[in-house]
Structure 1
């Protein structure tokens, strides 16, 4: 075999058939294979270091049989073999049907490898008829192995290839103190991956390092080449530790390099400077406000004002508590841009939220938003709404207002991103609930400025983000935080209600009726619309409770039961937009007592008279989502009440989440709880265009010092060499970890 470069296709190095198999794992080059690292390791006589697998996952285990029993089947004639295997950490049960041949092979004491799909029964991991192989046990020169067809064929092929190419025979691998196990599938077994990795490593020259020797020594890091070799074929526990630490730093450096490129490239762009205009719309709205802005709102307003006054585009993330007044702060910023003769666009993820923003802003501004009408105040602008479901005539009129500049503020959904939407002079883009949009989507509006100028850019989210995550997932943006709630915001009391206790459920509905009798209104939120919707997942498979209640089922049960004498309406995403808006308007006017809804009311909906939020099957929602929903109540003169109804078991992760929500109204604390229970790859949607994360070592929550160090180093390199022409090992590192198609958006910077 010739020397293999990182960019070489695996088909050239391993041959077409093995390469075709590995491509099903998303691995097609030498570099991608070497970064496809083991998920865990099995150590001789020691516990394997892994968390419990998910149901449905393809699992490979290496262990010793401790028990083997032939059991008579109850439902039909015949026997099955039940084998218990332990890897000194976990106990597994494997069942084999028609076991005439294998019963003499799978005996207690045998060392085995098994691979199959995970199921759980009474918290016991089950593998039904898995692939299996008896492993050499201190006899590396074994010529023939016994096992199921798939694994023994793989073994024979790998042994032959190993001998042909002068590598280590696979049998010798099983005698190692530490065995790597890879994320595998039924099509590609862990030992096929290991065999491919060994062949590539045997013929791969040293991998160029993104760090100089001095930079490595200062940080106590081994080289990337040494780390890659040790992570796949460790000799000691320390090998795994030092290799993981270096690869963790590499991942942080790759991400921070991309973000530094975005930041620095953005500094070269020109934006329309928008200083404060005395006596303009911004000042007029401030004079009309019936309350004082909070200290936090004033501080954030000043930060936005300083950014807007510059000739470089603002790139800022505004995160804040539910109800902290982000909409008002962003509106004042938009009016400053309008005062300077430019337009603003606010992008919302749903039509309900877009319509709510449109209503709220028009209400706040009054005759200041009636530009072109007889009743308009002097210098008034116009606020337009653009959604995908608008009728042709209304859509045409809105597009005309946008292209002529008559509309100073344009509120819209994804419809704003369409090519036919042309702005007269776009000066500011505001994206609400950024996590609903990918990088490419937000960049579409950045390209709509006039005369080659880039609009200022503000991202808003009511889902608080820990600092390390903000520094990574939004590392190309400056951050402003609103923690303080406006004066007069009422407290919200939250309680968990077990649905298994009917008297508690009855009390929920009677308590809601008491609020309605007092002249107030109630939300009831469900996790799905109807019977044809899949059951929502928010927790381990084994925690699944009874089937969830849909909006349609809950609505019918309430109108024929506890709310039979009330004005009840239903709201969900499949309804016509006009119907949804009419129902929300009626609820806002107090003409509806109870709104039974999906999460379309999750953000932005503001009905001060709504005081009670009942969330059915609350365990099917994430922590931050529950906090968002809860923020819809307590927005008026009366205290809020949130009741979390659940079938979750008393001792379960789901119940822990619900109790955390009930115990705290601090969105920043709850965000951390939420993120600790979620895959961190989800956090990188904004960086990686919604693709799955390729991070295997870096923890965005825990590794703050590594991320900060990598950020400083990346800034230093990129400020001198934006395109990394003189730092090709770093460019290769970025490509290797983030994969080129995931960072295409850099071309637009």
Structure 2
């Protein structure tokens, strides 16, 4: 009896080596895994494949027709013996492709010629390359039409409709290998129970599971593909929504302490503000206060453009919690940002941050700083004040997660730039709330894919600051394409010198610290959402080109185009006090040009800085580029962001840069990021998503499906929290809850 849990070997007729590649290379271990490995696209078997612009090195799968077939005899240079080759010209719906087959004997060459006469059609797969000005299909594999029984792969065509499925592959495995195995599996599968209740299928207009699998793997037309995808996407959305829904209900049942205020700290702070809050800041503040007043934990995303006043909104939320007798923790991704936040909060609070100190206001509290570089002596007094409740606010990095850090009554966790923190790190801080979940506020200026997915799925309530306070100036963003215009390099530094000449300051950001390293030595220097290797251009010259490094760029600029200017480095290898001193000097105007890694990505606020020059900008992801750009234009002066790149035009890397240059809308950029990179794991298992946990569902394309699934999930859970009426569905939900991927939901 073959079931979904049967080993995939039961339906593979392949030799051992190929079976191993399918199991290990594609992670397909059961029949269920095989059927869940869906085609990524389809080619029409009844017409030649349309080919647009070809890219060298691209793997093609095309339907083509043999236009010409010629046998040629030649002398093998290595052996000196006669050898043969068959040169075939393949007609497609675009450029012709040349294929060459080598043979040691004339008989083999003649056999190949009989298989590939002019007019023969087939499905061909190989790597595109150019030779003597003509496109070639290198190392071609093929399934020929009209040759029953001749090819082993021909079995894949026996039950094939008008569309041929093209699967995600690994080396040594072809699409027809998988298609043949899937066709056999669907034939011999004894039982395929449908986890989706019949009434839900009827209500949503969905086909049953067996029909959906048959249509996704062997469709007759694209209408069947659409209906199959709709059903399978709904399954993924519903299971995920049920996991999220059950976790939210469990958290609500556990409860949180309402934080309704009562002290005078927030009122005193508002009275001291030298400006009026924007309408958006007032509205979002009320949304947060309403959440804090409930007896279930807040889980809210605060989205705002760089400089929109998120920190002020978060501080007012922290003061409301302190007014309620609790404490608030602000978790920052780097020491530079933690120190910046601490200085900023203390400056904004003034005497309200001097609780228990001479000159402190009656309503005052204390704001502590905890970072990993502080000595034990430096940490002792802040730790005691936090444990006793004397200090109401603490700002810190990962040091806050250590067991030695105890808080008297943690009521609110503010996470700045969520994508810098993993699931377990945030969970560890939440665990310090003495068994009662704290309220959580996540601040981000450009959500990365996972954040967008979680928002679309409704796990986070969302507040948006959509207006900039007075004093923010527009930022001009320009791509500087050195591959096409290398002479522009001189103009970059001339422009920087012009800005310094006007009395302004300049950031220069590099992806590396020194030229002899492969990766950053400090996590703070690492591009948080850098493109994966699969997304990087295949340009061999680009791969060999050394990336810009802080230490080398500082030397080159100080001794060359920016000679005479005050140029200083900043990176994660520097001692904490040295980094802090450098940032203070830059903020005080004592440094003209700061050459840095991405340690200045978020939170660094220098009003006089007007220019951001990003070297090898294609090495950063969209979210990070948007954050870095936001470091300028903060003092009422127009900002300039130069995205310097060697990436070729029309490459994925250039697409990212062009997208950033075209808009300053954070939510729009996050959507572009999803379209270019695919979603990260919605439940947080893989942040940048080398392989998405969503096989069919796409959070941009399928938003309506997600909304519908959320409504169904709510109804099912209202009727039966344990899903007793849908045991197969309950089993899928439980399986997902048990995985490490569910940790994000469990701890959020």
| TM-based fold match above 0.5 | yes
Which of 476, 479, 495 matches 2:459?
A: 476
Deviations 1:335-390 (A, max 9, x none): 11112221212222222222221221122123322334334333432222233343
**Aligned residues between the structures:** 719
Question: 1:713 Cα deviation (Å)?
Answer: 0.9
CA shift for structure 1 position 457: 0.9
- The alpha-carbon deviation at position 172 of structure 1 amounts to 5.2
Instruction: Flag the 1:213–1:515 CA change in 2: closer, same or farther, 3 A.
Output: same
Query: For residues 568 and 747 of structure 1, do their structure 2 counterparts lie closer, same or farther at Cα, with a shift above 3 Å needed?
Result: closer
Q: Matched residues in 1 for 2:65 and 2:297: separation?
A: 62
Label 1:466 to 1:193 Cα distance change in 2 as closer, same or farther (>3 A): closer
**Structure 1 unaligned regions, length at least 5:** 146-151, 156-168
**Counterparts of residues 7-156 of structure 1 (less than 5 Å):** 7-10=5-8, 21-24=21-24, 25-46=26-47, 63-66=64-67, 85=90, 88=93, 103-104=109-110, 105=112, 107=116, 109=118, 128-129=138-139, 132=141, 135=143, 137-140=145-148, 142=149, 144-145=150-151
For 1:445-464, what aligned pairs fall within 5 Å after superposition? 445-450=429-434, 452-463=435-446
Task: Determine if contact 1:321/1:464 at 8 Å carries over to the other structure.
Answer: no
Give the whole-Å Cα distance in 1 for the aligned partners of 2:349 and 2:610: 26
Distance 2:694 2:649 in 1: 34
1:300 Cα offset (Å): 0.6
Distance 1:272 1:129, change over 3 A: same
2:261 to 256, 263, 276: 276
What CA RMSD, in Å, does the superposition of the two structures yield over aligned residues? 3.8
Q: Give the aligned partner of residue 526 of structure 2.
A: none
Aligned equivalent of 2:378: 394
Give the Cα separation in 1 of the matches to 2:549 and 2:86: 42
In 1, distance between residues paired with 2:235 and 2:241?
A: 10
SS at match of 2:677: coil
Once the two structures are overlaid, the 10-residue window that deviates more, 66-75 or 437-446, is 66-75
* TM value normalised by structure 2: 0.85
Change (3 A) 1:91 1:358: farther
Residue 258 of structure 1 corresponds to which residue in structure 2? 243
**Which secondary structure does the structure 2 equivalent of 1:230 belong to?**
helix
Determine the C-alpha separation between the residues in 2 that align with 1:402 and 1:129. 67
Q: Map of 1:258-657 to 2, 5 A cutoff?
A: 258-280=243-265, 282-450=266-434, 452-463=435-446, 469=452, 472=455, 475-499=458-482, 501=485, 504-534=488-518, 537=531, 541-542=537-538, 546=542, 547=545, 548-650=547-649, 654-657=653-656
Greater CA deviation, 379-388 or 9-18?
A: 9-18
When residues 714 and 532 of structure 1 are mapped into structure 2, their CA distance, relative to the original with a 3 A threshold, is farther
Mapped contact 2:300–2:442 kept (Cα < 8 A) = yes
Structure 2: which 5+ runs fail to align? 520-529
SS in 1 for 2:479: strand
Any idea what SS the aligned residue of 1:677 has?
Answer: helix
TM-score, normalising length: structure 1 = 0.85
Distance (Å, rounded) in 2 between the aligned partners of 1:97 and 1:528: 47
- Conservation of the 8 A alpha-carbon contact between 1:473 and 1:687: no
Corresponding residue for residue 684 of structure 2:
686
Residues 352 and 581, structure 1, Cα contact 8 Å, conserved in 2: yes
Deviates more, 1:209-218 or 1:681-690: 681-690
SS in 2 for 1:516: helix
Q: Show CA shifts across 1:628-677 (max 9, x none).
A: 21211111142222223333445555545444444433333333333332
Whether contact under 8 Å (1:688, 1:743) holds in the other structure is no
Q: 1:86/1:722 Cα in 2 relative to 1: closer, same or farther (>3 Å)?
A: farther
Q: For residues 509 and 652 of structure 1, what CA distance do their matches in structure 2 show?
A: 26
Distance in 2 (CA, whole Å) between partners of 1:83 and 1:402 is 78
Report if the CA contact (8 A) 2:569-2:596 is conserved. yes
Measured after TM superposition, the shift of residue 526 of structure 1 is 2.2
Residue correspondence of structure 1 range 158-237 to structure 2 within 5 A: 170=155, 173=158, 176-237=161-222
Distance 1:366 1:418 in 2: 29
Match of 2:254, SS state, is: coil
Q: Structure 1 residues 119 and 659 mapped into 2: Cα distance closer, same or farther (>3 Å)?
A: same
Deviates more, 1:121-130 or 1:356-365: 121-130
CA contact (8 A) 2:452 2:670 kept: no
SS at structure 2 position matched to 1:614: strand
Residues 367 and 222 of structure 1: is their aligned pair in 2 closer, same or farther, counting only changes over 3 Å?
same
Deviates more, 1:393-402 or 1:50-59: 50-59
